[in-house]
Amino acid sequence: YPGGYPTAEPAVPTGEDDPTIPDWEGVPPPAPLNLQGEEFDSACGLQWQRYESPVPDFDFFRIYRRETIGEVSIWAVLEDSFTGGFDSDGFYQYLDDDLENDLTFGYRLTGWDTENLESAFSNVVTLSPVDMIPEPLQNVLIFVNPGRILLEWDIPQAADIAKFGIERIEGVDPLTGAEIIIRFVIDKPTHGPAEPELYGGGLAQVWIDIERDRIVAIDAAVTIGVIYAYRLTAIDESDQEGPPIKVTAPIAVY
């Protein structure tokens, strides 16, 4: 260049005039993609894909639920402005819980932008929550303390778990070969260790440990020198009992 180098900054394209980039002004978002559903106990789960291309002025999703009242189906807004993020697979997740089992619900949703424009509806999914058998208890542990045995397990996530079954296996009948079992059915505890719920038959104390999301039970009707095993189950409000989890003490009671 005559007299030296150019001093003007090079122009950086902004994309505003690029015909390949959509202008979203005055245009509603696309309809949400691939709405899917899953049926749970007293709940329905929804998931749908994020937009394939970015929508710069996207604001939130609105979720609609259809219920049948008498012979009339009514669509109502379930979630006015859902802004939850998507997971690593690119799917948004939403749980509609506290539902009555065996009823049928329809779901659809729309996207809204910052101009208050609503997209077309997504596809519709129809779901019916069902009264499922409780899941097995998780992370059941057993500890031997002087003169007693301590059991603990995770607080179940299902909202309809109301009780727990605890079977103490005391050995085998030498004549019949059948297990000798003492069975307890206890209510789901609501008090902490400062106010444990008391039971007879040796199952002395049961409480809930909110900080660790655990339930703890102490069995004091045990004999020193015996190795005990237990089976534990979750029981729901319909008295359905889940599969048992068996744990055996690592040592005899001392």
The reported pLDDT for the residue numbered 166 is 95
State the Cα–Cα distance between residues 246 and 141, nearest whole angstrom: 10
pLDDT at 24: 77
Closest CA to 231 of 156, 140, 150: 140
* 136 vs 41: CA distance, rounded Å: 15
Q: What is the DSSP string of 171-240?
A: EE-TTT-PEEEEEEEEEPP-S-TTSPEE-STTEEEEEEETTTTEEEEEE----TT---EEEEEEEETT--
Residues with Cβ within 8 Å of residue 171, at least 6 apart in sequence? 179, 180, 226
How do the pLDDT tens digits run along the chain, 254 residues long?
555 555 555 555 555 555 555 677 889 999 999 999 999 988 999 999 999 888 999 999 999 999 877 778 899 999 999 999 899 999 999 999 989 999 999 999 999 999 999 999 999 999 999 988 999 999 999 999 999 999 999 999 887 899 999 999 988 888 898 999 999 899 999 999 888 888 766 676 899 999 999 999 999 999 999 999 999 999 998 899 999 999 999 999 99
Is-above-0.75 flag for pTM? no
Phi, psi of 51 (to 5 degrees): -65, 140
